[in-house]
Amino acid sequence: MGYSLIGYLKNLPLAYYLKGGFTQMRGPTISLFLSSQQSAALVCRGHRAQGFELQIANLPDAPPVIGMDSGIAAASRSFSQKLLTRTRARGVPRFIFVPDLAASDLYCNVHSVANLRELSIENLLESLNEDPRQVFGSWDESRKFRWEVFDSQLERVRGAFEKRFQEVIIVGIPADYCEQLEIWTEAQRATLLGIIPLSLACLKWFCSSIPIGRKTAFVLLMCSHAVLLAVVQNQKIILFREYTDDMAFVCHEIPLLASELRSDEYETYVWASHPVGEDIAVALTGTELTGEVLRQINGQAVVVRKSDGTKLELNSPIPHLLLWLENSVV
């Protein structure tokens, strides 16, 4: 993937920042999953996991979670210092943020290029920044958003549309939340590598890690606030929907969508940021991306060392996703 997902973007949802030249490139990377239900941190050095922490919201000066009140201490580094001490890591930390965003805080949709009046990505971004209604027609959000445009494989694109793309994916998140994370990173005297919405990180991991051949894949992302459904064909995302209904309703929708898409062969995959309850599990059909399944897909478990020096193997979705992301970004 290289830097294609993150890019060298400034003032955009997926921002890539380097500060202090090459002197900071050897520092530890802290990948943060931020959710109103539970947040977690994976500390890595040299693409290897050193420590994994849950309940990081309870630590002093924890990073802001959208929709939750949090105070940012302008001159405090207690959060990063605490994490680095626990994992026996040293150096100037670099942060990757993976926020679990509610529907109102994330715009992500597939758009046909034929229906866009803009002739290039630059024109499209300019229209989105001026007034999203120029692109979407209807836009009721009063907050300023930061925007980025990707192709159907979640690769950052630039230049004229011409005949290069049939569809593009437009992504936006609130600018004020990006600014909160930027200010918080400055307070930690650290480097900000990226702000990557959970759903995008999961879908990029899926398209990069699970070959589906000629089959159609229905990917269910069970996040804190909603269930997201993406349809993948030929490793490309062709449809993205969000549901607030129960899981049984969403599972009932999949055969109907498969019929509409004329997909005779399809498979369903389920990725959940938190353990799935028994009442939901009975409604699920398909492959749940956790445990031994993740170990086989990624080749190994995520191995960290506990404070007593013993090794601990992790095979839940969050540490696997954060480690893959760290290896893809840094």
Token pair, residue 46, equals: 């040299």
Question: Does position 7 have pLDDT exceeding 50, yes or no?
Answer: no
> Is residue 13 one of the residues assigned to a domain?
no
Backbone Cα Rg of the chain: 20
Closest CA to 83 of 39, 121, 26, 125: 39
| pLDDT at residue 281, rounded to an integer | 66
List C-alpha distances in Å: 96 to 17, 64, 134, 157, 223: 10, 13, 32, 21, 19
Is residue 55 domain-shared with residue 193, that is, in the same domain?
Answer: yes
> Is residue 7 one of the residues assigned to a domain?
no
> Using CA atoms, how far apart are residues 217 and 211, in angstroms rounded to an integer?
10
> What is the domain count for the chain?
3
**Contacts of 146 by beta carbon, 8 Å cutoff, 6+ apart:** 11, 12, 13, 172, 173, 174, 175, 178
- Chain center to CA of 268: 20
| pLDDT at residue 151, rounded to an integer | 95
Least confident of 5-19, 55-69, 199-213, 241-255: 5-19
> Using CA atoms, how far apart are residues 6 and 329, in angstroms rounded to an integer?
7
Least confident of 3-17, 56-70, 162-176, 277-291: 3-17
> Is residue 123 one of the residues assigned to a domain?
yes
> Is residue 247 one of the residues assigned to a domain?
yes
Is residue 72 domain-shared with residue 188, that is, in the same domain?
Answer: yes
> Is residue 72 one of the residues assigned to a domain?
yes
**Contacts of 211 by beta carbon, 8 Å cutoff, 6+ apart:** 235
DSSP sequence for 224-285: SS-EEEEEEETTEEEEEEEE-S-HHHHHHHHHHHHHHTT-SSEEEEEEESSPPPHHHHTT--
List C-alpha distances in Å: 86 to 42, 63, 73, 81, 307: 12, 17, 21, 9, 7
> Is residue 206 one of the residues assigned to a domain?
no
> Is residue 15 one of the residues assigned to a domain?
no
Instruction: Give the SS3 label for residue 179.
Output: helix
Instruction: Give the SS3 label for residue 75.
Output: coil
* Burial class of 295 by CB neighbour count within 10 A (0 to 12, 13 to 18, 19+): middle
Residue 234: pLDDT band (50, 70, 90) is very high
Query: What value does the mean pLDDT take over residues 180-184?
Result: 95
Is residue 181 domain-shared with residue 72, that is, in the same domain?
Answer: yes
Query: What value does the mean pLDDT take over residues 176-186?
Result: 95
Is residue 186 domain-shared with residue 258, that is, in the same domain?
Answer: no
Is residue 128 domain-shared with residue 49, that is, in the same domain?
Answer: no
Is residue 217 domain-shared with residue 286, that is, in the same domain?
Answer: yes
Question: Does position 3 have pLDDT exceeding 50, yes or no?
Answer: no
Is residue 285 domain-shared with residue 153, that is, in the same domain?
Answer: no
Question: Does position 47 have pLDDT exceeding 90, yes or no?
Answer: no
Is residue 89 domain-shared with residue 215, that is, in the same domain?
Answer: no
Question: Does position 252 have pLDDT exceeding 90, yes or no?
Answer: no
Query: What value does the mean pLDDT take over residues 168-183?
Result: 96
Q: Give helix 198-209 / helix 317-329 axis angle, nearest 10°.
A: 80
Share of the chain above pLDDT 70, in %: 87
What tens digit of pLDDT does each residue of 271-318 get?
998 877 766 666 677 899 999 999 999 999 999 987 777 899 999 999
Question: Does position 211 have pLDDT exceeding 90, yes or no?
Answer: yes
Give the strand order in the sheet containing 40-45.
48-54, 40-45, 29-34, 94-99, 191-195
- pTM metric for this prediction: 0.88
Question: Does position 23 have pLDDT exceeding 90, yes or no?
Answer: no
| pLDDT at residue 77, rounded to an integer | 64
Domain of 279, in residue numbers = 211-298
Is residue 138 domain-shared with residue 54, that is, in the same domain?
Answer: no
> Is residue 10 one of the residues assigned to a domain?
no
* Average pLDDT along the chain: 86
Is residue 65 domain-shared with residue 126, that is, in the same domain?
Answer: no
Q: How many CA atoms lie within 13 A of 260 on its CB side?
A: 8
Q: What is the CATH number of the domain that holds 250?
A: 3.30.420.40
| pLDDT at residue 69, rounded to an integer | 66
| pLDDT at residue 72, rounded to an integer | 53
In degrees and rounded to multiples of 5, residue 184 shows phi and psi of -65, -40
Question: Which 8-state DSSP code applies to residue 162?
Answer: T
* CA geometry: angle 169, 111, 227, nearest 5 deg: 65
Is residue 96 domain-shared with residue 108, that is, in the same domain?
Answer: no
| pLDDT at residue 11, rounded to an integer | 42
**Which is it for the CA torsion 317, 87, 28, 181, positive or negative?**
positive
Question: Which 8-state DSSP code applies to residue 199?
Answer: H
| pLDDT at residue 25, rounded to an integer | 53
Is residue 97 domain-shared with residue 109, that is, in the same domain?
Answer: no
